[in-house]
């Protein structure tokens, strides 16, 4: 009898904890949004992370990834060609984890996430001078400001603005 009461007390505690968790989840929508689930793919990490950050797939919609992957020989002024099997595996990975929701509001021809409406909106307060500074050089250099970018974390706490 005593155990039963104890159990139901624990159960109601667990229920409350869940409710609280759900509430926090909803309240921290913005913070959750700046963290991209650390999806992992060895080929993608090795091949797409050798010249720059392996940009999280959640940053561009599937059609835009497809367009990037179909033109690797002319990749932003460089040749990033891969063998057919590796390219296909990476393409599948990118497409199946691609942007949805508000980050998907991008025209199909856009190859740069740094030109998407969400990127421009999130960065509208960054001084034009900083983008061109020697520490940053290009907006594509996420890690210059987002110190935790390689973990897929673009949250405010990881930001250190260069001077
Ligand atoms: C040989 C070097 C190299 C490799 C390998 C490479 N890239 Fe790039 N990538 C570049 C350069 C250079 C830029 C232009 C960066 C800039 O504008 O500062 C770029 C830019 C990009 C951008 C646009 C960044 C922006 O401005 O929003 C995306 C997206 C991208 N690469 C995806 C990939 C993917 C996916 C792979 C793997 C299949 C890959 N890259 C492999 C050199 C490379
Ligand atoms: C010059 C520094 C700088 C560079 C480079 C930069 N960012 Fe940011 N980023 C910021 C600042 C500052 C904010 C705004 C933080 C705020 O107002 O909450 C921000 C915000 C963001 C946010 C929203 C974070 C949130 O809490 O909602 C995302 C996502 C993001 N950046 C992604 C990127 C990606 C991806 C790249 C590279 C392609 C990049 N950023 C390059 C400085 C930078």
Instruction: Tell me if 149 sits within 8 A of 36, measured CB to CB.
Output: no
Quick one: DSSP state of residue 90?
A: H
- Mean pLDDT, the chain, rounded, equals 85
Residue 59 CB coordination number (10 Å): 22
How many residues does the structure list for the chain? Answer: 163
Query: Would the CB of 67 count as within 6 Å of ligand 1?
Result: no
pLDDT of residue 163: 78
Instruction: Classify 45 as helix, strand or coil.
Output: helix
Tell me: the pLDDT tens digits for 122-160?
999 999 999 989 999 999 999 999 999 998 899 999 999
Tell me: the pLDDT tens digits for 9-28?
555 555 555 554 444 444 34
Percentage of the chain exceeding pLDDT 90: 70
Q: Ligand 2 centroid vs 37 CA: distance in angstroms?
A: 17
Nearest to 51 by CA among 80, 94, 74: 80
Query: Would the CB of 45 count as within 6 Å of ligand 1?
Result: no
| pTM to 2 decimal places | 0.85
pLDDT of residue 31: 40
Q: Where are the domains of the chain?
A: 2-28, 42-158
Nearest to 142 by CA among 157, 152, 134: 152
Tell me: the pLDDT tens digits for 57-96?
999 999 999 999 999 999 999 999 999 999 999 999 999 9
What is the helix, strand, coil percentage profile of the chain, to 5? 55, 5, 40
Query: Which of the two residues, 162 and 37, has the higher pLDDT score?
Result: 162
Q: Ligand 1 centroid vs 143 CA: distance in angstroms?
A: 14
Instruction: Tell me if 52 sits within 8 A of 141, measured CB to CB.
Output: yes
């Amino acid at each position: 009898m005593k155990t039963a009461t104890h159990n139901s007390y624990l159960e109601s505690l667990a229920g409350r904890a869940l409710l609280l968790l759900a509430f926090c989840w909803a309240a921290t929508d913005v913070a959750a949004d700046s963290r991209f689930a650390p999806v992992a793919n060895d080929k993608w990490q090795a091949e797409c992370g050798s010249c720059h950050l392996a940009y999280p797939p959640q940053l561009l919609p599937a059609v835009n990834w497809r367009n990037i992957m179909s033109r690797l020989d002319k990749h932003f002024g460089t040749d990033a060609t891969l063998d057919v099997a590796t390219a296909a595996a990476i393409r599948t990975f990118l497409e199946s984890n691609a942007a949805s929701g508000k980050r998907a509001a991008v025209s199909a021809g856009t190859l740069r996430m740094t030109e998407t409406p969400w990127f421009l909106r999130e960065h509208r307060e960054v001084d034009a001078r900083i983008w061109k500074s020697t520490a940053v050089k290009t907006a594509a250099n996420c890690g210059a400001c987002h110190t935790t970018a390689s973990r897929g974390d673009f949250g405010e706490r990881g930001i250190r603005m260069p001077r």
